[in-house]
Amino acid sequence: MIDEKLLKTEEKVVYALRALYKSYGYLPYKMSKFEEYELYSENKDFLVSDRFITFNDTSGKLLALKPDVTLSIIKNLSFEKGVKQKVCYNENVYRVSSFSNNFKEIMQTGLECIGDIDIYDIYEALYLSAKSLDIISNDFVLEISHLGLLSNLLDSVCDDNVFKDKAISFISKKDTHDLESLCKEYEIEENSMNKLLKFVSIYGDRNKVLKELENLSVDLDGFNALSELSTLLDNTEFSDKIIFDFSVVNDMNYYNGIVFKGFVKGVSEGILSGGQYDKLLNKMHKKGSAIGFAVYLDLLSALKENLKSYDVDILLIYEEKCSKQRLAEVVNELVFDGINVTAQKSIPDKLRYKKLVKLDAEGVIC
């Protein structure tokens, strides 16, 4: 029997998320801690960080501690028409932290739905993302973007790839002033520039965004997908916490369609990230489509927990000459009553205790 009081926040979250994903038919997927280096080096841009911890195995083959889970899952899955493979995982990955510039072990949990997926599966991934965030904190925001919309708009504005890369970087920062300067530098026609600037500046309530998108006459497929998803999400308990924001961008060489990011109050960066990655499947010579997301559990430590003001309920100080039989009886009785106790001969430095109890040489509590 697990005593919930003993679990740390991230342990409780892992447990609850596993139960959630399992209830929607996502089967646990266990993988090795390392893979061949080539798998990662060939798909560097897909990864959050492009540096890996490498080592040689006994035959001299170059391996890497896994910096990512998705690639390993895709590698081992095969396509079957009409079928989708749903897996969930809870794994440690090894990446360079952007803050410290050092390798960090990060506990990550998430799910992947790969195969013959349709709009329902995208909705399900979004709904489960919202539910995952809600398990962490009910003060959350899930923001959704559509890379197809963005990519079509950029194609219609300018063909130059350098322009597109720079524009995407400014869009991800909601930096409309530099985006405007870039458009002027590339002599983009005013109407197209204004359309792009407007597209970047609309975000928030889904219906409001959809209305404004209608006026911008953007790519119809993308618009219809967003519209259909929004209607499906209207009927969920999290509808008002799910917004549209086109500043969410992932690498367009790997991702397409819906991409999303989740934030919870109290954590300074996105705690959940996901999207459709059909292009990655394609690059790895796999058929079908895919969507998935990951929850970065290492960020949970930023959430304030109600810390106990003491480490043990009772600090039991016993005399050296006290019968050890008697000491064992006293300790076991306290533990039996659900009290935490530490038996010591003197008061340890830095130990925080609720009550101090002494056991004298005759075994009498005083």
Partner 1 sequence: MLNIALPKGRLGEKVYAMFESAGFECPTIKENNRKLIFENKELDIRYFWVKPSDVSIYVERGAADIGVAGKDILLEYSPDVYELLDLNIGKCNMCVAAKKDFYDDCTKTLRVATKFKNIASHYYSSIGRNIDIIKLNGSIEIAPILNLSDVIVDIVETGITLKENNLEVVTNILPISARLIANKAAFKFNTEKIEEVMTKLGEQVIK
Residues that bind partner 1 (CB under 8 A): 98-99, 139, 141, 143, 173-175, 177-178, 204, 247, 263, 265, 267-270, 302
Q: Give me the least distance between CB of 250 and partner 1, in Å please.
A: 13
Nearer to partner 1, 26 or 263 (CB): 263
Q: Give me the least distance between CB of 174 and partner 1, in Å please.
A: 5
Q: Give me the least distance between CB of 173 and partner 1, in Å please.
A: 4
Nearer to partner 1, 161 or 268 (CB): 268
Q: Give me the least distance between CB of 130 and partner 1, in Å please.
A: 14
Q: How far apart are CA 273 and CA 261, in angstroms?
A: 4
At residue 45, the 3 state secondary structure works out as: helix
Q: Give me the least distance between CB of 169 and partner 1, in Å please.
A: 9
At residue 107, the 3 state secondary structure works out as: strand
For 162-208, the three-class secondary structure string (H helix, E strand, C coil) is HHHHHHHHHHHCCCHHHHHHHHHHCCCCHHHHHHHHHHHHCEECHHH
Nearer to partner 1, 26 or 260 (CB): 260
Q: Name the residue with tokens 């075994």.
A: 363
Nearer to partner 1, 178 or 234 (CB): 178
Q: Give me the least distance between CB of 265 and partner 1, in Å please.
A: 5
Nearer to partner 1, 268 or 346 (CB): 268
- What residues contact residue 342 under an 8 Å CB cut-off, 6+ apart? 312, 314, 315, 316, 351, 353
- Pairing between β-strand 140-146 and β-strand 242-245 as defined by DSSP bridges: parallel
Integer angstrom CA distances of residue 314 from 238, 269, 335, 365: 44, 40, 10, 12
Q: Give me the least distance between CB of 163 and partner 1, in Å please.
A: 15
Q: Give me the least distance between CB of 133 and partner 1, in Å please.
A: 11
Nearer to partner 1, 255 or 263 (CB): 263
218 within 8 A of 115, measured Cβ to Cβ? no
Nearer to partner 1, 56 or 98 (CB): 98
Angle at 199 between CA 196 and CA 200, to 5 degrees: 90
Assigned token pair, 323: 């019968």
Q: How far apart are CA 210 and CA 337, in angstroms?
A: 60
Q: How far apart are CA 37 and CA 321, in angstroms?
A: 62
Integer angstrom CA distances of residue 304 from 8, 137, 155, 165, 296: 12, 11, 45, 38, 16
Nearer to partner 1, 43 or 273 (CB): 273
